[in-house]
Amino acid sequence: MDPDSVKSTLSTLAFGNVLAAAARDYKKEVLGEEKRQASSSANQEVDLDELMDDPELEKLHAERIASLKKEAEKRQKLKTQGHGEYRDITEGDFLGEVTGSKKVICHFYHREFYRCKIMDKHLKILAPRHLDTKFLKLDAENAPFFVTKLGIKTLPCVILFQNGIAADRLVGFEDLGGKDDFSTKKLEVLLLKKGIITEQKGDGEGEDDDHESRQRSVRSSANVDSDSD
């Protein structure tokens, strides 16, 4: 046999042995990894079973469920009292609405006043965010008794009621920079400082788009109504 041919054949056989050895090693590695994963999974199952039998964990779980249930019941009760939305009421409804909740925001407005419409937009956004506070609006023209009783001279006038008592008020936009293009967030921060609403998670989401939309609306408007009666 040709020496070169023999050498080539031996080299091929040697390479084949190397590949076979590598294949065996790889198979062992794969099997070993599968065993480790199976063992880890079994340990996890055991750990989870032990945790499920832990009385402290069961207690925490029960307390969490009870807390969530209580919160859901509270939210439902507030919604039945008119919380969670910005509602238009009549003069006849006023006393019952204001005294029926711990915290109430009532906007006395005029249908034709431009600044009243701006305030409406902001309060409508805030109402569903702050369920603990009731948000109302009352047409001042149709509520002469309470307009006189509360000494309302300028619109918009937002009166803040705590336990049925008029605790504070926002007259026009004086506390908001005196300009029409204030943001919902600015009004929200002011109401937080006055204690009529409480801080909620996620406040201000979508604020930039909403604020820019209002700015375009303000710029495009050529006529601004007088906001004092």
pLDDT digits (tens, 9 = 90+) for 175-221: 999 999 999 999 999 999 999 999 876 544 444 445 444 454 444 44
Distance CA 212, CA 48 (A): 51
Q: Looking at residue 54, what is its pLDDT?
A: 73
The answer to whether 146 and 91 are in contact (CB under 8 A) is yes
pLDDT digits (tens, 9 = 90+) for 7-58: 555 455 455 565 566 666 666 676 767 667 665 555 555 565 666 677 777 7
Lowest mean pLDDT among 4-8, 27-31, 79-83: 4-8
Whether the per-residue pLDDT at 114 is higher than 60: the answer is yes
Q: Give the predicted TM-score (pTM) of the model.
A: 0.61
Distance CA 209, CA 47 (A): 48
Q: Looking at residue 224, what is its pLDDT?
A: 41
pLDDT digits (tens, 9 = 90+) for 119-152: 999 999 999 999 999 999 999 999 999 999 999 9
200 or 226: which carries more pLDDT confidence? Answer: 200
- For tokens 């409508």, name the residue: 124
Provide the token pair at 162.
């705590």
Domain boundaries, the chain: 20-53, 55-81, 84-220
Lowest mean pLDDT among 65-74, 160-169, 184-193: 65-74
Q: Looking at residue 11, what is its pLDDT?
A: 58
Q: Looking at residue 199, what is its pLDDT?
A: 86
- Does domain 84-220 fall under CATH 3.40.30.10? My reply is yes
Q: Report the relative pairing of strands 134-139 and 157-162 from DSSP bridges.
A: unpaired
Distance CA 96, CA 98 (A): 6
Q: Looking at residue 129, what is its pLDDT?
A: 95
